[in-house]
Structure 1
């Protein structure tokens, strides 16, 4: 009997050690991701996307281009407050809630609470349209976070050229894809939401490359692996562009079938979250020298 109990104790201790090593320590120490936590977070993300989709459908909220664009300020807000944590402005245990993956739950709670409030105000006749107040609240919170960064930063306002040499190439490449899209038979790339998707992925890859050149550590094992194979991180830019265009192409092809517009736009929003959340964070970290 004692031997069986000892074996169960060892198994439980091994499980606790595994969770601590691959999940808890990464959050507490804000270290690079590993294959276990990356896979787990992706599963949680897509399970969460499905749950949110069903919840929004129950609330009879139409998920369309306007809704996606109105939600983008909350993605930026998440990046801003992630950088606030990077800057050591927050202290434990509060700071742990602003490290992946906990920050996704925090930002979702804020975003969804504001969505419910603005929706309630619209449906009780207090405002005409919830979408403008919903988007506006996200913009205000994002700006508030930037002000906190400026106030607590050693350099104050970031140098404009730091922003320009990252933002301009991403914007120029996005505009280039938009303009050539009819020539390659992909007119849908001219839509605002797909432009945001392309820009988000380009911003992520450009800031990852520039950040590593400036001495920052790339915490994502897959992109680090690709950079090591090709000998340079600049390869992430064309690879991310090819990847995102292929994903959009498949998404458009699937949406012509049984997939509802709600599902399509929810997946588009998920793509923007994946690219913009990391890209905007990298941009702010570089700009503020954190």
Structure 2
């Protein structure tokens, strides 16, 4: 079957670039022509406003007359006129980011083709440290923004670079820089393969980031503690959940993982980390002696918590908590995605397949790492 680019007789890279320019002109032009409608009530309300509110430690942010105001109480936010933006995600923003991610992945495939990387499974494993790094970097902002902190390490607007979703672009640019350096080392015959230096650079930035969090904890920084029991419970719980799911797949439906093989287990484990981190962070922090429970950051998490709380009787919730279904949702979703990646996909489009697998793992392991380290360091 011919692709769209082949049917219209346009080079795929030019078609992608043209679509990018059209979208950019529509957003910028619409913001200039209709600032209150396009920018205030759409771009700011659903995308930039939540980042501003988060970066300024506000309960919410409002926008009127082209000016942004930050409010520090829930009652004031409830009484404010729309548009009102709260820290975190909305369903509109999550759909928007999903579409942006898929579009960006296509552009990255073109870039990978020019750099001649990403055809082997080793590329997937070489990028693993960067997925942990993204979550850890976000926790640096959480620690920077801790209520008890006396001095912020990163102030607004620079802290917006490490707040979701901007942090994804920040991590992408750092990762892209590492890929270019690694490929250059291979081309100059400093190393035989780019994967090893790529993995090594990722480990270095991850160790530096997590090391900074440990430094905050052990130097008595305000609002930052270290709870090793939380880290242990989350890692053991995620590993057991992923291993049990993997065993069930291999025992009863091995065809699910015939394409991804070991990568499939890594994806299951990454999403299990996200699921277990939510269960422990939302329900069991107090029981583990690690301070108050966390609060949901995503609409899906909040929906699961609300649904469970409104469905199960209080006596059951007192024993199970209300976040445990999120772990099941993550494992089922990850299993389905692994099943989609059959062996033929790797042969037809290896670069795009590898990039999709990296993205699938990143959307689980990135937030999971953040929640795990937030709970571990009490921020």
Q: Could you say whether these structures have the same fold, taking a TM-score greater than 0.5 normalized by the shorter chain as the test?
A: yes
* RMSD of aligned Cα (Å): 2.3
- Asked whether 1:48 is paired with 2:110, we answer no
- Asked whether 1:145 is paired with 2:209, we answer yes
- Match for 1:165 among 218, 233, 239? 233
- Match for 1:197 among 261, 267, 271? 267
For 2:39, the equivalent position in structure 1 comes to 16
Deviation per CA, 1:198-230: give whole Å up to 9, x if none: 011111111122222243221211221122222
Deviation per CA, 1:99-143: give whole Å up to 9, x if none: 112111111111111111111111121222221111011001100
Q: Give me the TM-score of the superposition, normalised by structure 2.
A: 0.69
Tell me, yes or no, if the aligned pair for 1:200 and 1:275 is still in contact at 8 Å. Answer: yes
1:181 deviates by 2.9
Tell me, yes or no, if the aligned pair for 2:267 and 2:361 is still in contact at 8 Å. Answer: yes
Change (3 A) 1:21 1:126: same
- Match for 1:131 among 171, 195, 214? 195
Unaligned segments of structure 2, at least 5 residues: 1-30, 55-86, 145-152, 286-292, 310-321
For 1:183, the equivalent position in structure 2 comes to 251
Matches of 1:216 and 1:100, distance apart in 2? 17
- 1:246 aligns to what SS in structure 2? helix
Tell me, yes or no, if the aligned pair for 2:186 and 2:192 is still in contact at 8 Å. Answer: yes
Tell me, yes or no, if the aligned pair for 2:225 and 2:378 is still in contact at 8 Å. Answer: no
Change (3 A) 1:9 1:137: closer
For 1:5, the equivalent position in structure 2 comes to none
Matches of 2:296 and 2:275, distance apart in 1? 11
Matches of 1:167 and 1:64, distance apart in 2? 28
- 1:33 aligns to what SS in structure 2? coil
Look at both structures and tell me which one has the larger radius of gyration over its CA atoms.
Answer: 2
Matches of 2:244 and 2:361, distance apart in 1? 19
Tell me, yes or no, if the aligned pair for 2:115 and 2:183 is still in contact at 8 Å. Answer: no
- Asked whether 1:242 is paired with 2:242, we answer no
- Asked whether 1:273 is paired with 2:362, we answer yes
Q: Which has the higher helix share?
A: 1
Deviates more, 1:226-235 or 1:258-267: 258-267
Tell me, yes or no, if the aligned pair for 1:79 and 1:281 is still in contact at 8 Å. Answer: yes
For 1:229, the equivalent position in structure 2 comes to 307
Matches of 1:25 and 1:87, distance apart in 2? 21
1:279 deviates by 0.3
Equivalent residue runs for 1:67-82 within 5 Å: 67-82=123-138
Matches of 2:247 and 2:32, distance apart in 1? 63
- 1:158 aligns to what SS in structure 2? coil
Deviates more, 1:129-138 or 1:150-159: 150-159
Matches of 1:48 and 1:144, distance apart in 2? 28
Tell me, yes or no, if the aligned pair for 1:96 and 1:102 is still in contact at 8 Å. Answer: yes
Matches of 1:136 and 1:148, distance apart in 2? 18
Matches of 1:133 and 1:201, distance apart in 2? 26
